[in-house]
Amino acid sequence: MPDTQPLVGVIMGSRSDWETMRQAVEVLEQFGVAFEARVVSAHRTPDLMREYANEAEGRGLEVIIAGAGGAAHLPGMVASQTLLPVIGVPVQSRALNGLDSLLSIVQMPGGVPVATMAIGTAGARNAGLMAVAMLAVRRPELREQLRAFRERQEQAVRSEPLE
Ligand code: RP5
């Protein structure tokens, strides 16, 4: 984990979410964005969740990525207690394939937004990229890195052989 001041807080409801959420962390590492990652559960550690949300801005975080599965209340409950932008990642649940997670995260009442990503690893990866894009608004170097990433991605697709 980078030892500079974290700008992005990556939290997840359970250790079992880590396999998915590490995709977000890998993107942040790729862009050299300082982050912290930890388990914070809306249901199993509600006091820790409240504390985390209340203190995040004061600790210098600028974006929170929150992943959870099933009754995935973590992103919305954190968003209700901080002014920081919260990006929600619906983790693919065993019972309902993540549709439960998606609906739990995306159907926020008007007034408390959560930027909801796709279910599973694509969502986690995009959460990392979304956080980078948010930070890049006021950081020209990061913006250039993002531009270069998109260009490399395009070139890779253009030159990809089918067989
Ligand atoms: C949620 O319940 C977590 O986000 C996780 O996706 C799901 C299952 O948690 P475990 O029972 O695997 O700890 O709170």
* Whether the model pTM is above 0.90: yes
Cα→Cα distances 35→53, 60, 101, Å = 15, 11, 24
pLDDT value of position 82: 98
Q: Is the separation of the CB atoms in 125 and 29 below 8 Å? A: no
Per-residue pLDDT tens for 95-118? 999 999 999 999 999 999 999 999
45 C-alpha vs ligand 1 centroid, how far in Å? 12
- In the predicted model, what is the mean pLDDT of residues 144-158? 97
pLDDT value of position 163: 83
Provide the percentage of residues in the chain whose pLDDT is more than 70.
Answer: 98
Tell me the domains of the chain and their CATH numbers. 8-158 (3.40.50.1970)
The ipTM (two decimal places) reads: 0.96
Nearest CA residue ID for atom 6, ligand 1 = 69
Residue 25, pLDDT > 60, answer yes
Per-residue pLDDT tens for 53-94? 999 999 999 999 999 999 999 999 999 999 999 999 999 999
Residue 152, pLDDT > 60, answer yes
Average pLDDT, the chain: 97
Eight-class DSSP state of 108: P
17 is in an annotated binding site: yes
From the list 54, 49, 56, 52, the residue with the least C-alpha distance to 72 is 49
44 is in an annotated binding site: yes
Residues with a CB atom less than 6 Å from ligand 1: 13-14, 16-17, 41, 43, 68-70, 91
Residue 159, pLDDT > 70, answer yes
2 torsion bin: left (phi>0), alpha (psi -120 to 50), beta (else): beta
**Nearest-atom index, ligand 1, CA of 41:** 14
CA distance 163 to 149: 25
**Nearest-atom index, ligand 1, CA of 69:** 6
CA distance 118 to 148: 24
